[in-house]
């Protein structure tokens, strides 16, 4: 029996039995969003970014895998398609009298995308009865998908039925093959043009040594292969190339990260999707790999989800090509009017609504949160779905709908004698189904933390002559790592002045390193082999191409630290003078007269000189200032310690004078006290005279401590003279401390010894710690340490000896009596 006869027999048998001719096998794939019409346009989008990974055993019929992770941008694509269809239905000039409908599928995973495409081709009626056939279930065209790999999969099958597939985002150059994909069109340029544009961009910025990484899929592998061919034509070298997939093994990703870490190219061509770039950047962030310049493809360079990845700040400064930005009037209102009531059968829209407003639409099942009250509106929401600031690929969806509408309109209005397409299409496709290649060059900038905006910095137009195809605007560009300096990635450029050539081991001669001249050396010509040493008082500049006079540093009043030291010095002078005025006003009171008031006033005078001598250490050292600062310091401090020593001796002698038959105060009266102070001071004066005569201090340019600058300081001349002055001060201080310590347990009438002991303890502690600090302090800070020691010890003497007496004079005047200070006999013997 002939095959045709068999078919007829089956058809007749089915009619006689009253059963349908065809029955749908399995379950039907229902669209997520649908509207009936005279002509139906299909759409395939992925409102989720991933799906549950379930391994089927095939012991039972595999269940549909659940999609996870919302993708608001894809939902925006679908709503833009609906908006364009509704706009066309309202336009009487396009398809008059014909209503366009739509079937939009929300699927994830290549297998389910293919099922959706087949559903759009064959329809999804459970039963098909030839007696009730009113119209075909096949759509007029299919819009989508965003990915190249799934688009390649279903376009090869759909193309056999001559059903047009128009993609807004699938850029793989392989889709331009009309033999393999005869019914494929797209409103986005092919990666053939993007790859050539990227190669020209890399050459324009002088990056001749780059790395290249791509997604391990049709989009990435084909795009990177096209780029490598174009780069070779432009004279750009590829240091390494690699591919990986987001869902691939982690070891593959770590291998690429290690490859980047070990490479010396600073520019990476990233031909991948937003999923792969986020995974890669996150891993680089964990490994603390920075300083890279990313050159991105259109699939991720303006993706709004980039800021959600860890380490996304590393992408600030990235540059890449993307389709032109556009404006679609009325789309904003349409998106903000979206409501679950418009699509009651859409599970995704319910989930979307509940996620955005954190409420539950389902009141019968277990609610996920508080019930929605009905007042929720997307007009109050700002997210990726409602954001129209980057209408690039969304505009491609809009153009795709109009391309289909115009094509249908031309087919329906054509006349046999005039041919088809008498109306001028608004969307142009070349012989391969590709639109004209025109890109915007964008630079990812971060106006505020946590955000990234794609700023247009240039244009690439493949329709222009080659020399004019790439145009860079005169606008500020942020480079990788948020830098303002153009990165260098070459193998190798000429070494500029300030560097020398160093051949890389195991590399070609052209791959040499430009090694910066070390500090203090320069090279003043291009491609220098060696660097020259600067003269002793000169130092290399920042660029290592000129020798400049070294900067001279000394302790000056321009520094905050010096101003504070000077302030404390003047404060000490002020407090000392105020104490002197107070003592002079109360000079006849017992507390002032005790322990020889003449020594007290002399001590206050010497303390004033001690505070003032610290100022001589500030300023530019000169011959006179160097001699003055050290001699003034030595003499004033000896005068000060001599007065304290005299007061200590007075306390000891006064105690012995109270013993029966003792006339010690007769021998150690005021004249002898004055003489002892004078004698101790003259010894220091003599030491200073000898020091200044033999080898005085002098200004000295210290070029040993710092190589890049000169420290102008006072050289002590004779170290023996300096340490003799300091040692003599220490000897007197130690003697005074020992005597005061021995007097600490005298009766309370003589308690000034306790204060002197404490003051000498502070004095000795300061100067003992001064020695290691003085020796180890760098440069001008040696002088600052010396000033600090002078001020600290002077304040210690002032407060410990005079503060208790000032306290009694001002706040406890009732204690300032002879009875409380000492007995009458003691006062008489003191004076």
606-623 CB burial, b ≥16 within 10 A, e <16: bbbbbbbbbbbbbeebee
The CATH number of domain 191-328+435-472, selected from 3.30.590.10, 3.30.1360.120, 3.40.50.2300, 3.40.50.300: 3.40.50.2300
Pairing relationship of beta strands 547-549 and 141-143 according to DSSP bridges: unpaired
**Predicted local confidence at residue 42, as pLDDT:** 95
Residue 458, both tokens = 């240039």
Sorted by sequence, the CB contacts under 8 Å of residue 579 that are 6+ apart come out as 604, 798, 802, 806
Contact assessment for residue 798 and residue 607, using Cβ atoms and an 8 Å cutoff: yes
Helical packing angle, 250-262 and 274-286, nearest 10°? 60
Residue 813, both tokens = 């005047």
From the list 470, 601, 457, the residue with the least C-alpha distance to 202 is 470
Instruction: Please state, in angstroms and rounded to a whole number, the distance separating the CA atoms of residues 338 and 389.
Output: 19
Sorted by sequence, the CB contacts under 8 Å of residue 241 that are 6+ apart come out as 211, 212, 213, 214, 224, 228
Residue 739, both tokens = 């005597």
Q: What DSSP character marks residue 535?
A: P
Q: Domain segments of the chain: what residues? A: 21-189+340-345+392-413, 191-328+435-472, 509-549, 560-823
Instruction: Please state, in angstroms and rounded to a whole number, the distance separating the CA atoms of residues 737 and 759.
Output: 8
Region of residue 811 (phi > 0: left; psi between -120 and 50: alpha; otherwise: beta) = alpha
Strand-pairing partners, residue 184, are 165
Contact assessment for residue 138 and residue 101, using Cβ atoms and an 8 Å cutoff: no
Helical packing angle, 623-657 and 781-811, nearest 10°? 40
Residue 424, both tokens = 């001028």
My answer on whether omega of the bond before 812 falls inside 30° of 0, hence cis, is no
Strand-pairing partners, residue 712, are 701
CA distances in angstroms from 153 to 147, 216, 223, 274, 411, listed in the order given: 10, 16, 17, 21, 28
Q: Following CA atoms 20, 21, 24, 30 in sequence, which dihedral angle do they give, to the nearest 10 degrees?
A: -80
Strand-pairing partners, residue 549, are 538
Instruction: Please state, in angstroms and rounded to a whole number, the distance separating the CA atoms of residues 339 and 586.
Output: 92
Contact assessment for residue 283 and residue 248, using Cβ atoms and an 8 Å cutoff: no
Contact assessment for residue 300 and residue 274, using Cβ atoms and an 8 Å cutoff: yes
Instruction: Please state, in angstroms and rounded to a whole number, the distance separating the CA atoms of residues 140 and 382.
Output: 35
Contact assessment for residue 309 and residue 350, using Cβ atoms and an 8 Å cutoff: no
**Predicted local confidence at residue 256, as pLDDT:** 94
Q: Do domains 21-189+340-345+392-413 and 560-823 have the same CATH topology?
A: no
Instruction: Please state, in angstroms and rounded to a whole number, the distance separating the CA atoms of residues 590 and 579.
Output: 16
Residue 635, both tokens = 């003499």
Alpha carbon 20 to its chain's center = 68
Residue 310, both tokens = 């860890």
**Predicted local confidence at residue 511, as pLDDT:** 73
From the list 155, 120, 128, 131, the residue with the least C-alpha distance to 32 is 120
Residue 744, both tokens = 């600490």
Q: Following CA atoms 397, 401, 404, 410 in sequence, which dihedral angle do they give, to the nearest 10 degrees?
A: -130
Residue 77, both tokens = 């694509």
CA distances in angstroms from 230 to 199, 225, 302, 661, listed in the order given: 6, 9, 24, 116
Instruction: Please state, in angstroms and rounded to a whole number, the distance separating the CA atoms of residues 175 and 184.
Output: 7
From the list 298, 296, 358, 353, the residue with the least C-alpha distance to 325 is 298
Instruction: Please state, in angstroms and rounded to a whole number, the distance separating the CA atoms of residues 140 and 162.
Output: 10
From the list 166, 180, 264, the residue with the least C-alpha distance to 222 is 180
**pLDDT means over runs of 10, the chain (831 residues):** 33 42 65 92 90 73 79 93 96 92 91 89 64 69 91 90 91 90 91 93 90 93 93 87 90 93 91 92 91 93 86 90 91 93 90 89 69 87 87 92 91 63 56 84 89 91 90 91 81 84 69 84 86 89 88 85 88 89 82 73 86 86 86 86 78 59 56 79 88 88 82 85 85 80 60 71 76 71 83 84 82 72 43 38
Q: What CATH architecture does domain 21-189+340-345+392-413 belong to? A: 3-Layer(aba) Sandwich (3.40)
Instruction: Please state, in angstroms and rounded to a whole number, the distance separating the CA atoms of residues 787 and 630.
Output: 11
Contact assessment for residue 698 and residue 705, using Cβ atoms and an 8 Å cutoff: no
Instruction: Please state, in angstroms and rounded to a whole number, the distance separating the CA atoms of residues 613 and 609.
Output: 6
What is 560-823's CATH topology? Rhopdopsin 7-helix transmembrane proteins (1.20.1070)
Helical packing angle, 752-776 and 781-811, nearest 10°? 170
Instruction: Please state, in angstroms and rounded to a whole number, the distance separating the CA atoms of residues 128 and 116.
Output: 19
**Predicted local confidence at residue 373, as pLDDT:** 86
> How many C-beta atoms lie closer than 10 Å to residue 711's C-beta?
23
Strand-pairing partners, residue 560, are none
Contact assessment for residue 107 and residue 6, using Cβ atoms and an 8 Å cutoff: no
Residue 550, both tokens = 């070294």
DSSP string over 762-830: HHHHHHHHHHHHHHHS-TTHHHHHHHHHHHHHHHHHHHHHHHHHHHHHHH-GGG-SHHHH--HHHHHHH
> How many C-beta atoms lie closer than 10 Å to residue 360's C-beta?
17
From the list 625, 633, 777, the residue with the least C-alpha distance to 715 is 625
**Predicted local confidence at residue 416, as pLDDT:** 54
Instruction: Please state, in angstroms and rounded to a whole number, the distance separating the CA atoms of residues 408 and 402.
Output: 10
CA distances in angstroms from 468 to 79, 172, 232, 459, listed in the order given: 38, 25, 20, 10
From the list 696, 720, 681, the residue with the least C-alpha distance to 627 is 696
**Predicted local confidence at residue 766, as pLDDT:** 78
Q: What DSSP character marks residue 687?
A: H
Contact assessment for residue 446 and residue 316, using Cβ atoms and an 8 Å cutoff: yes
> How many C-beta atoms lie closer than 10 Å to residue 359's C-beta?
17
**Predicted local confidence at residue 24, as pLDDT:** 61
Contact assessment for residue 754 and residue 803, using Cβ atoms and an 8 Å cutoff: no
Residue 482, both tokens = 């948020």
Strand-pairing partners, residue 101, are 40
Instruction: Please state, in angstroms and rounded to a whole number, the distance separating the CA atoms of residues 80 and 571.
Output: 76
Residue 517, both tokens = 């001249």
Q: Helix (H, G, I), strand (E, B), or coil: what is residue 515?
A: strand
* SS3 per-residue string spanning 637-673: HHHHHHHHHHHHHHHHHHHHHCCCCCCHHHHCCHHHH
Contact assessment for residue 76 and residue 393, using Cβ atoms and an 8 Å cutoff: no
């Amino acid at each position: 029996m002939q095959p045709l006869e068999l078919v007829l027999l089956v058809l007749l048998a089915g009619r006689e039995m009253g059963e349908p001719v065809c029955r749908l096998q399995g379950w039907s794939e229902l669209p997520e969003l649908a509207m009936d019409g005279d002509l139906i346009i299909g759409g395939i989008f992925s409102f989720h970014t991933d799906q549950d990974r379930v391994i089927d055993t095939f012991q039972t019929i595999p269940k549909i895998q659940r999609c996870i992770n919302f993708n608001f941008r894809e939902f925006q694509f679908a709503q833009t398609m609906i908006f364009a269809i509704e706009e066309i239905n309202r336009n009487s000039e396009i398809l008059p009298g014909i209503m366009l409908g739509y079937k939009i599928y929300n699927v994830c995973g290549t297998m389910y995308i293919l099922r959706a495409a087949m559903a759009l081709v064959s329809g999804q009626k459970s039963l098909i009865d030839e007696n009730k056939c009113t119209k075909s279930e096949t759509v007029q065209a299919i819009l989508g998908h965003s990915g190249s790999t799934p688009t390649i999969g279903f376009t090869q099958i759909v193309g056999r039925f001559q059903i047009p597939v128009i993609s807004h985002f699938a850029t793989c150059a392989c889709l331009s093959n009309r033999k393999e994909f005869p019914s494929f069109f797209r409103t986005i340029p092919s990666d053939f043009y993007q790859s050539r544009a990227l190669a020209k961009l890399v050459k324009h910025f002088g990056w001749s040594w780059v790395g290249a990484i791509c997604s391990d899929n049709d989009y990435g592998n084909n795009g990177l292969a096209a780029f490598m061919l174009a780069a070779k034509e432009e004279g750009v070298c590829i240091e390494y190339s690699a591919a990986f997939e987001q869902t691939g093994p982690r070891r593959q990703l770590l291998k690429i990260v290690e490859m980047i870490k070990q490479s010396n190219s600073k520019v990476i061509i990233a031909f991948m999707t937003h999923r792969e770039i986020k995974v890669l950047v996150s891993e680089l962030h964990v490994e603390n790999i920075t300083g890279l310049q990313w050159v991105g493809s259109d699939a991720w360079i303006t993706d709004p989800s980039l800021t959600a990845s860890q380490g996304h700040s590393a992408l600030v400064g990235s540059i890449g090509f993307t389709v032109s930005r556009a404006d679609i009037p009325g789309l904003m209102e349409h998106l903000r009017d979206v409501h679950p009531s418009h699509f009651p059968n859409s599970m995704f829209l319910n989930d979307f609504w509940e996620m955005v407003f954190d409420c539950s639409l389902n009141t019968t099942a277990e609610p996920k949160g508080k019930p929605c009250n009905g007042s929720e509106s997307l007009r109050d929401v700002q997210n990726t779905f409602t954001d129209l600031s980057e209408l690039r690929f969304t505009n491609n969806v809009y153009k795709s709908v109009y391309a289909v509408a115009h094509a249908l309109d031309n087919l329906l209005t054509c006349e046999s004698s005039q041919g088809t397409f008498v109306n001028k299409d608004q969307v142009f496709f070349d012989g391969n189904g590709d639109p004209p290649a025109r890109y915007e060059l964008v630079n990812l900038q971060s106006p505020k933390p946590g955000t990234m905006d794609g700023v247009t910095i240039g244009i690439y137009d493949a329709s222009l002559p080659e020399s004019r195809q790439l145009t860079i605007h005169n606008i500020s560009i942020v480079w990788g790592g948020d830098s303002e300096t153009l990165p260098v990635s070459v193998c190798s450029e000429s070494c500029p002045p300030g560097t020398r050539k160093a051949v890389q081991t195991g590399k070609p001669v052209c791959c040499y390193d430009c090694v910066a001249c070390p500090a203090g050396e320069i090279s003043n010509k291009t491609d220098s082999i060696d660097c020259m040493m600067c003269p002793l008082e000169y130092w290399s500049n920042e660029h290592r191409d000129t020798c400049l006079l070294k900067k001279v540093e000394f302790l000056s009043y321009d520094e905050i630290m010096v101003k504070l030291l000077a302030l404390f010095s003047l404060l000490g002078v002020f407090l000392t003078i105020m104490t002197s005025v107070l003592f002079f006003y109360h000079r006849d009171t017992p507390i002032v007269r005790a322990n020889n008031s003449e020594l007290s006033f002399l001590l206050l005078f010497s303390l004033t000189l001690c505070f003032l001598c610290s100022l001589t250490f500030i300023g530019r050292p000169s011959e006179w200032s160097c001699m003055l600062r050290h001699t003034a310091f030595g003499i004033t401090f000896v005068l000060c310690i001599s007065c304290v020593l005299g007061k200590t001796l007075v306390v000891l002698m006064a105690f012995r004078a109270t013993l029966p038959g003792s006339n010690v105060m007769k021998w150690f009266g005021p004249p002898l006290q004055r003489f002892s102070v004078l004698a101790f001071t003259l010894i220091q004066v003599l030491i200073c005279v000898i020091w200044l005569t033999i080898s005085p201090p002098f200004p000295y340019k210290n070029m040993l401590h710092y190589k890049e600058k000169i420290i102008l300081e006072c050289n002590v001349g004779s170290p023996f003279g300096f340490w003799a002055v300091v040692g003599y001060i220490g000897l007197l201080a130690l003697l005074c401390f020992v005597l005061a310590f021995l007097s600490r347990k005298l009766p309370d009438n003589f308690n000034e010894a306790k204060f002197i002991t404490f003051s000498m303890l502070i004095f000795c502690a300061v100067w003992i710690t001064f020695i290691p600090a003085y020796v180890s302090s760098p440069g001008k800070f040696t002088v600052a340490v010396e000033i600090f020691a002078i001020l600290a010890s002077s304040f210690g003497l002032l407060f410990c000896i005079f503060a208790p007496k000032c306290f009694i004079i001002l706040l406890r005047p009732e204690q300032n009596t002879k009875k409380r200070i000492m007995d009458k006999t003691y006062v008489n013997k003191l004076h």
